[in-house]
Amino acid sequence: MALAGAVLLTTAPTASADYIRDQQWALNVFAAEDVWTESQGEGVTVAVVDSGVDASHPDLTGQVLQGKDFTGGGNAQEDVLGHGTAMAGIIAGHGHGAGNSSGVMGLAPKAKILPLRTLQTNTDRNLDETWGAAVKYAVDHGAKVINLSFASDGGSKTLSAGREAIAYAQAHDVVVVAGSGNDGVSAVSEPAALPGVVSVGAVDKDANLWDKSNTGEGLTLTAPGVDIVNTNPTASKGYGLGSGTSDATAFVSAAAALVRAKYPDLTAGQVINRLIKSATFAHHKGLKAPDEEYGYGIVRPYSALTMDIPAGPKKNPLGQLSSSSSTSNKASQGTDSSSQAKKKKSSSSNVLGLVGGIAAVLVIGAITFAVIRSRRKGGNGGPGSSGGVSQGAGYPPAQQSFPNSAPNHGYHPQEQSLQPPNPYGQQPPSQNR
């Protein structure tokens, strides 16, 4: 297994913690302060099947459960790769300092993280039997949402161990969320392409699809996944900036945790239904759900918590993976395109980097800070470097348009020159996945 992006570290002095918080553009467009008046994810455990989670990171202290290491020994609360900790921060970071005003805040800051380490380094293979065992462990230890921020290697199919594990989770009322992949192809990778899994693509701060985000039939939702500030213990100052459907997956997992906390009587399928029916196509006109680039739309946590949406059937609107079936409608639909047909049918080896590592992780230090400050002064505001990595979110206010649940939710007065997006309403999800 290899990360799809480079890693850049610096030894620059620490940037101000307030600066870190200021770069969390996704919280602004989600109107997170309004979201948190409705739910903060309290009482919900989100399993992060990944490279482990650094429980000592100041923005995650007290949030990380003991978990389990599936790599042959070790501690799931350690993370030498940094990817799992980054996902955990997006989901349940609580910041630090006075009033927790410094550092990274997650979208569901009172949710608990169950770290399940299935690989340690970027050369480890994330085998189906390994992550499958972790998924089953998550179910048996109280997780209500499972975050799978990885995608299959070379388009390989999920083997029986992985399929059985996801079927087990679905049978036990757990929401499973996975990234669509970072190949930029029109085929959703597995395990995201499996029936009943919430498959997630990535959009940028303008609510436009990220060009590396996998698309195609079977895509469920999209979420912020470009220039996302994260908690990263491998960075010299503990923070990084990344892009990928990994990050988008973590935001949707957090949104599911918010809904499960506010509506504990809803089944996993009803939670998914609420996420789907509250999503928006934003400024993208004329799309029909499910769209192959945006799915049912861009996730809107506030709307998912507040819209008047009937609970609906208890079954998962995305289908159900049968534990005894080796094929499925969703899997076949997600792999029959000409693009997917060209992919290798190799043994399943899942790559974290395909989903989250394609954009480099880098330290937010004085160098980055200086670049962003110079851009702001110059009014440039565009992406900062090649290779799909931006070294800062120094965009002008007018570019912060994003889907929101109601007028003024996530729109500051100086940003209202843009037309508010037309929210995608409550069309019923298609059963034909």
What positions carry a catalytic annotation? 50, 83, 246
- The Cα-based distances of 14 to 10, 61, 377, 385 in angstroms read 10, 20, 21, 21
Whose CA is closest to 12, among 364, 362, 366, 361? Answer: 366
Question: What string of H, E and C letters represents the secondary structure of the chain?
Answer: CCCCCCEECCCCCECCHHHHHHCCHHHHHCCHHHHHHHCCCCCCEEEEEECCCCCCCCCCCCCECCCEECCCCCCCCCCCCCHHHHHHHHHHCEEECHHHCEEEECCCCCCEEEEEECCCCCCCCEEHHHHHHHHHHHHHCCCCEEEECCEEHHHCCCCHHHHHHHHHHHHCCCEEEEECCCCCCCCCCCCCCCCCCEEEEEECCCCCECCCCCCCCCCCEEEECCCEEEECCCCCCCEEEECCHHHHHHHHHHHHHHHHHHCCCCCHHHHHHHHHHCCECCCCCCCCCCECCCECCECCHHHHHHCCCCCCCCCCCCCCCCCCCCCCHHHHHHHCCHHHHCCCCCCCEEEHHHHHHCCCEECCEHHHHHHHHHHHHHCCCCCCCCCCCCCCCCCCHHHCCCCCCCCCCCCCHHHCCCCCCCCCCCCCCCCCC
- Amino acid (one-letter) located at 65: L
